[in-house]
Amino acid sequence: MSDVSLHPARLGPRDVLRVGVVGLRTRLMRVFLSALGIAIGIATMVAVVGISTSSRADLMAKLDRLGTDMLTVEAGAPLHGGDGAPKLPKEAVAMVSRIGPVHKVSAIALLKDTTVRRNELVPAERNGGINVMAADLDLLGAVSGGMAHGRWFTSATAAYPTVVLGASTATRLGASPGELVWIGEDRFTVIGVMQPLELAVDLDTAALVGWEAAEKRLGFDGHPTRLYERSKDEAVASVRAVLTRTVNPQAPETVQVSRPSDALTAKEAASGSLTGLMLGLGAVALLVGGVGVANTMVISVLERRQEIGLRRSMGATRGQIRIQFLTEALLLSGLGGAVGALLGALATFGFATVQGWPTLVPVWALGGGLGATVAIGMIAGLYPAVQASRLPPTEALSSS
């Protein structure tokens, strides 16, 4: 009679999956609470990355639309601490336009001590924070602006008592094209309302009058207080280096040059620190979820000692017991990760839609989140799986 060697039955992938699912189905509430911690962590991380990416995409689209080639030139403090109001030379626009790469240049002038009111019955001191500015004809194009209602100045209307209102100014005054407002002690006809300006936000709270009309009716001396300049993208740095001496060769120290688009990128950079903080909170939530999975699996091993002993006595190997409990841990964490990734993507979509941003959830964020859940499941389930496999069958069967 020949010797017959016995070999333990092998568990196929379907068998491993089946025994893992059965272990979870018998403890649904505990599984739900454990998976919830993983889901919260993954949802937070995916949402933070998705919202940050969507915000950055919106910024890039905004910069592409507005351009990063605009520089503003303003008069700083008077030289030697003089008392006069900061002003630029009258010839500033003409001088800047002679710089080779410059293709647009425009100017505004703040008219101090000039008020705008809805009608003559409103006291002059109740100005509502609205500035009156003189604007030249090229301003709208230089700031990439548009008209919400009415029209911009022409060479004809700029010489007459007409006014174009910023977006916020029109709301505050309750005025629309065709109506009259009082600027100083004179009546001006509203001919247009501008759209909100993202690179020149102070114009939203201004009332703009034509350059010539300001000189004739409001005592304007012709000195601009700010220039808007656009040049080729590759020449912005070189133009910026020569602007101060070009605008005021005799006192370049009194001229300040800035790039409005830098404020938008700085805002995005500032939000990056908050993104890092939220990612850290998501990682903490994920760690807590991993601890919850490990706790669930340890309790599961303690509660199922008789089941483990029975399977061992029927021929299950230690390796098969390890695989069973490790599969349960992976399924538990994977379930939480999948739900979390879905919730994170939905949160990104909802927030981006409300903000009017494009919705972008990087594939690497979803993949990384699911990969993290697999790692968490492996780590959290390894110790309980090893402990379960080491239980002697007789001791496990005798436990109550």
Assign 3-class secondary structure to the chain.
CCCCCCCCCCCCHHHHHHHHHHHHHCCHHHHHHHHHHHHHHHHHHHHHHHHHHHHHHHHHHHHHHHCCCEEEEEECCCHHHCCCCCCCCCCHHHHHHCCCCEEEEEEEEECCCCCEECCCCCCCCCCCCCEEEEECCCHHHHCCCCEEEECCCCCCHHHCCEEEECHHHHHHHCCCCCCEEEECCEEEEEEEEECCCCCCHHHHHEEEEEHHHHHHHCCCCCCCCEEEEEECHHHHHHHHHHHHHHHCCCCHHHEEEECHHHHHHHHHHHHHHHHHHHHHHHHHHHHHHHHHHHHHHHHHHHHCHHHHHHHHHCCCCHHHHHHHHHHHHHHHHHHHHHHHHHHHHHHHHHHHHHHCCCCCCCHHHHHHHHHHHHHHHHHHHHHHHHHHHCCCHHHHHHCC
Among candidates 204, 209, 215, which has minimal Cα distance to 129?
204
Q: How many whole angstroms separate alpha carbon 99 and alpha carbon 257?
A: 15
pLDDT on residue 380: 81
Other beta carbons within 10 Å of 93: 20
Q: Write out the two tokens for 43.
A: 């949802």
| CA dist., res. 293 & res. 332, Å (int) | 7
Collect all residues with Cβ–Cβ distance below 8 Å to 19 and sequence separation of at least 6: 11, 324, 327
How much is the pLDDT for 400? Answer: 58
Residues contacting 387, CB < 8 A, separation 6+: 298, 301
Say how many C-beta atoms besides its own lie within 10 A of residue 8's C-beta: 11
Closest CA to 293 of 206, 379, 201: 379
pLDDT of residue 287: 79
Helix 318-355 and helix 28-66: axis angle, to 10°?
40
Q: Which residue type sits at 215?
A: E
What is the pLDDT at residue 194? 95
Could you say which residues of the chain have pLDDT below 50? 1, 79-83
Contacts of residues 358-362 at CB distance under 8 Å and 24 or more positions apart, as own/partner, are 358/54, 358/57, 358/58, 358/61, 359/50, 359/54, 360/50, 360/53, 360/54, 360/57, 361/46, 361/49, 361/50, 361/53, 362/49, 362/50, 362/53
- Give the contacts of 54 (CB within 8 A, at least 6 positions apart): 348, 351, 352, 355, 357, 358, 359, 360
pTM score, two decimals? 0.61
- The first and second tokens of residue 77, run together, are 């403090």
- Dump pLDDT digits (tens) for 26-84: 778 878 888 888 888 888 888 888 888 888 788 777 766 666 778 888 887 554 444 45
The whole-number pLDDT of residue 253 equals 83
pLDDT of residue 209: 96
Rounded-to-integer distance, Cα 73 and Cα 112, Å: 19
Residue 67 has a pLDDT of: 63
Residues 225/73, Cβ–Cβ less than 8 Å: no
In this prediction, residue 306 carries a pLDDT of 77
Angle formed at CA 42 by CA 41 and CA 44, multiple of 5 degrees = 65
